[in-house]
Amino acid sequence: GIQVEQSPPDLILQEGANSTLRCNFSDSVNNLQWFHQNPWGQLINLFYIPSGTKQNGRLSATTVATERYSLLYISSSQTTDSGVYFCAVPTSGTYKYIFGTGTRLKVLA
Amino acid sequence: EPEVTQTPSHQVTQMGQEVILRCVPISNHLYFYWYRQILGQKVEFLVSFYNNEISEKSEIFDDQFSVERPDGSNFTLKIRSTKLEDSAMYFCASRVSGSQYFGPGTRLLVL
């Protein structure tokens, strides 16, 4: 089945710094979602991005489907950005999601 | 914006007890899912449900698990006889097409 890997596994930043999180997937996909898991465990949808680039405030994402990767950019990071970031891709058929291994981000004040 | 809701937010139960986790998907959605996340690990697929039947299940979803959509709005996950290793966060998700919308999760602790 499809494999989804994320890097780096852990990231520590000072407030105000920028970062890039990467999601690699082993097979072609027709969708990809980025989530932020907050300290309460909730999965907050960030982007639904099968291809191209999207921006939402300080966050933006780019998916290059032909090369099987997606990038999440966080600019001017804030302490509230801390948490775990997951990407997820659907399988064919039932469209169940395969989640990546996650990047744990800690932003220091 | 419509959202998926889940109840309870937290549940503590004794090993061997039955638990029912409840979800209210977004009203016009047709496809429903349950996922599980053991503490510190990634989110794993449990089961998908469409047209009032299971469309796919993972190897985790054994005979102790069942799902139901009893009244056209709720979507439930039942664990018949809980084990310690069932302790996890359980997420419900729904979609009509495209992206999945996730509920806030139920944190289950089995003692």
Q: Does B75 touch chain A (CB under 8 A)?
A: no
Mean pLDDT in residue range B19-43:
95
Whether A43 and A37 have beta carbons less than 8 Å apart is answered as yes
Q: Does B50 touch chain A (CB under 8 A)?
A: yes
Q: Which of A48, A86, A93 sits opposite B56 (nearest CB)?
A: A93
Q: Which DSSP category does A80 fall into?
A: G
Q: What is the mean pLDDT of chain A?
A: 95
Burial code (b: 16+ CB inside 10 Å, e: under 16) for A46-64 equals: bbebbeeeeeeeebbbbbe
Whether A33 and A98 have beta carbons less than 8 Å apart is answered as no
Work out the percent of chain A whose per-residue pLDDT is above 90: 90
Q: Identify the three-state secondary structure at position A65.
A: helix
Q: A35-71 pLDDT, tens per residue?
A: 999 988 999 999 999 999 999 999 999 999 999 999 9
Contacting residues of B for A2, CB less than 8 Å apart: none
Contacting residues of B for A35, CB less than 8 Å apart: 102
Q: B73-99 pLDDT, tens per residue?
A: 899 999 999 999 999 999 999 998 888
Whether residue A95 and residue B104 make contact (CB cut-off 8 A), yes or no, is: no
Q: Identify the three-state secondary structure at position A66.
A: helix
Report the gap between the CA of B41 and the closest CA in chain A (Å): 8
**What is the pLDDT at residue A33?**
96
Radius of gyration, alpha carbons of chain A? 13
